[in-house]
Structure 1
Amino acid sequence: MEKQRKSIREKFADGEPTFGMTIYTGVSATVEIAGNWGLDFAFIDAEHTSVDVDQQMEKLILSAKVSGIAPLVRVRGTIEWDIRKALELGADGVIVPQVGTADQARAIVRAAKFPPHGRRGGDGSVRAAGFGGPGFQWSSYTRAQNESTLVIPMAESFEFFDNIDEILEVEGIDVINFGPADYSLSREIPIDYSMSNPEVTARLDELIEKCRKRDIKVMAPCIPPTAENAAKLAAQGVDMIIMGNDVMFLNEGARRAAEAAKSVTGG
């Protein structure tokens, strides 16, 4: 039975920040653990990992639903099939990397939303539609999907910021995810996940300011994932705060284990 808790959109409406973690390992237990600890969303990555939008992805999404955490899938790009399939499998939203133009943003909305907001293809025999079971109606299904699905392009290049006003004017965008590492790579400046670099900080501030004017929310990573850094991001105006990732936590645990072993052996 799914655990019931306030949805991300309900928290948005109440002005509350939301918190999640990225899942790189593709292991369903990590999604459930994040949900069990009360995080709001699981950022399931299919861009940089071996995970595809397939049966493995389905297990990750189901694990999220069991533990009451919202599954958000980062797909490989503005690929219509990936976007539609992730949503049909039950994802609450899609995160799309490397968006640099308004045309790309429009393509994401077109793939994620049913008419009249987009041109998403439909089938009643999918999880998002309750497999066409009791009470299924096309009109209520498409309306509910359009109202609930989160469309989240990523701002992670200088091209995005060159075209920021045109991109943010695209109707149907709910959240922008700021990617400081790839932004830094695009500018050939030192990678700065902590966002202490003045240029990176300025870009995040610009994004927040311009999104606020359009009622678009902002997502960003909290590195290192401390209470102090999370509070700073929330005060800055970040609505969806990514509190690290499973690989980071595994490394931290392994580092502690190795240090403890060395203290015993003197190695």
Structure 2
Amino acid sequence: MAPPENTDLAAKMKRGEPVFGATMYTGSTTAVEVAANWGLDFAFIDAEHTPVNVDGQMEKLVLAALLSGIAPLVRVRGTNEWDIRKSLEFGATGVIVPQVNNADQARAIVKAAKFPPIGRRGGDASCRAAGFAGPGFQWSKYMEHENATRLVIPMAESYEFFDNMDEILEVEGIDVINFGPADYSISRQISIDYSMSHPEVEEKLAELVERCHARGIKVMAPCIPPVAENVIALRKKGVDMIIMGNDVMFLNAGCRGAREAIDTAAKTA
């Protein structure tokens, strides 16, 4: 029996269609499944800023995504090869790696995520990605399939990334670059602007899209606030993978609405 995996995300991206997802900070399988119910393409599961580690809890989140039909992309804590390898062995469709500032870091990510001849990922067949070495398992097919289908997504979220961008993008094995406007702004000590209306942030996104697309690399970026106008703007800028907010944002929006209803009712009572 083949292990569960998500092929819809790759198929849409191959056709040049935009894909949409949400970031998951709460560590809740419910949030992942709800996102799938509403037809989002990927769940950006965070282990950088949350109590979630690449352990049994992450495995449940990845499996919840796979079984509900949404592609799990795991943001690990950094270039740690064990986090990268384990996320993929759990069955993640790809790994997102924060704070990539130079080509050496990019090469380290690819080395951990890809089997030879592209990288030097360590292997074990007793994992979900390998179907737990079940009927018909073949090492050669497993490694070839992993290399061809698992996304490697470094993050561009510092001025150092842009200083070294051409060298980073030349590293073989990179599939997508995720632009982080908040951390880029922090690195430059300019006002934090998720909407990317700040001239410098907008300029860097445009530069990133141009350089990535010239090499066949996709670009991911957040859509904040997640409204149609901003989706249209990001598509016009060439963004391929659009993050439509996060589960904490959605909880805040719901609770804000409840608070407003309570306060309005109190005024009219």
Q: Deviations over 1:173-195 (max 9, x none)?
A: 00000000000000000000000
Match of 1:247 in 2: 248
Distance of 2:146 and 2:20 partners within structure 1? 22
Match of 1:218 in 2: 219
Deviation at 1:3, TM superposition (A): 10
Match of 1:141 in 2: 142
Q: Does 1:230 align with 2:245?
A: no
Change (3 A) 1:3 1:225: farther
| Count of aligned pairs between the two proteins | 266
Q: Deviations over 1:7-54 (max 9, x none)?
A: 222112211000000000000000001011111000000000000001
Identity of aligned residues (%): 70
Kindly indicate whether the alpha-carbon contact (under 8 Å) linking 1:175 and 1:219 is maintained by their aligned counterparts in 2: yes
Deviation at 1:232, TM superposition (A): 1.4
Match of 2:75 in 1: 74
Gaps of 5+ in 1: none
Q: Deviations over 1:142-196 (max 9, x none)?
A: 0000000000000000000000000000000000000000000000000000000
Deviation at 1:4, TM superposition (A): 9.4
TM-score, with structure 1 as normaliser: 0.97
Kindly indicate whether the alpha-carbon contact (under 8 Å) linking 2:46 and 2:76 is maintained by their aligned counterparts in 1: yes
TM-score, with structure 2 as normaliser: 0.97
Distance of 2:246 and 2:266 partners within structure 1? 31
The aligned runs of 1:131-170 (5 Å cut-off) are 131-170=132-171
Match of 1:62 in 2: 63
Match of 1:174 in 2: 175
CA RMSD of aligned residues (A): 1.5
Deviation at 1:236, TM superposition (A): 1.1
Q: 3-12 or 75-84: which moved more?
A: 3-12
The aligned runs of 1:1-267 (5 Å cut-off) are 7-266=8-267
Kindly indicate whether the alpha-carbon contact (under 8 Å) linking 2:100 and 2:157 is maintained by their aligned counterparts in 1: yes
Deviation at 1:218, TM superposition (A): 0.1
Q: Secondary structure at the match of 1:118?
A: coil
4+ residue segments displaced more than 2 Å: 2-6
Gaps of 5+ in 2: none
Distance of 1:137 and 1:70 partners within structure 2? 24
Change (3 A) 1:6 1:148: closer
Distance of 1:50 and 1:94 partners within structure 2? 18
